């Protein structure tokens, strides 16, 4: 074996042995327990605000409110009909078509994929909205 190759090999072997000894020492120290005083727990890290499971929208004055709804995958949208006429919620992109939603009734939908989807009322051609699923 060439001297340079042998020396490089010896350094690698020494590093592996050193790491093995350190790992064994850490495992042994962890098994010993340590002081009889309880270790204080670190302060809880701030967490992200949990998203509401359902996002509310309304149908009023032959319009969807809000016009653009942004949700996260797993959330549900519930449209409430606050109008005096029947509406629907439909989207060819989502393969979604509600039955007629009478005044005071609701319709809920939980998307299965992310994207930006146009939706509309099949009864009122100008009643449209956008659902953004992140």
Quote the CA–CA distance of 7 and 15 in Å, as a whole number: 12
Question: pLDDT tens digits, residue range 65-74?
Answer: 999 999 999 9
Joined tokens for residue 57: 């929208």
Q: Which residue is it, tokens 């302060």? A: 43
Joined tokens for residue 103: 């005044």
Quote the CA–CA distance of 101 and 108 in Å, as a whole number: 11
Question: pLDDT tens digits, residue range 85-133?
Answer: 999 999 999 999 999 999 999 999 999 999 999 999 999 999 999 999 9
Quote the CA–CA distance of 63 and 41 in Å, as a whole number: 52
Quote the CA–CA distance of 118 and 123 in Å, as a whole number: 16
């Amino acid at each position: 074996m060439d001297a340079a190759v042998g020396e490089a090999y010896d350094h690698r072997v020494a590093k592996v042995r050193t790491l093995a000894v350190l790992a064994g020492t850490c495992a042994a120290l962890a098994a010993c327990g340590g002081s009889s005083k309880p270790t204080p727990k670190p302060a809880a890290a701030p967490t992200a605000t949990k998203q509401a499971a359902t996002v509310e929208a309304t149908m009023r004055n032959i319009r969807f409110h809000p016009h653009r709804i942004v949700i996260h995958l797993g959330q549900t949208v519930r449209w409430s009909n606050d109008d005096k006429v029947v509406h629907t919620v439909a989207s060819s992109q989502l393969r979604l078509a509600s039955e007629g939603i009478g005044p005071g009734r609701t319709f809920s939908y939980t998307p299965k994929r992310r994207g930006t989807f146009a939706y509309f009322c099949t009864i009122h051609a100008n009643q449209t909205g956008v659902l953004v699923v992140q």
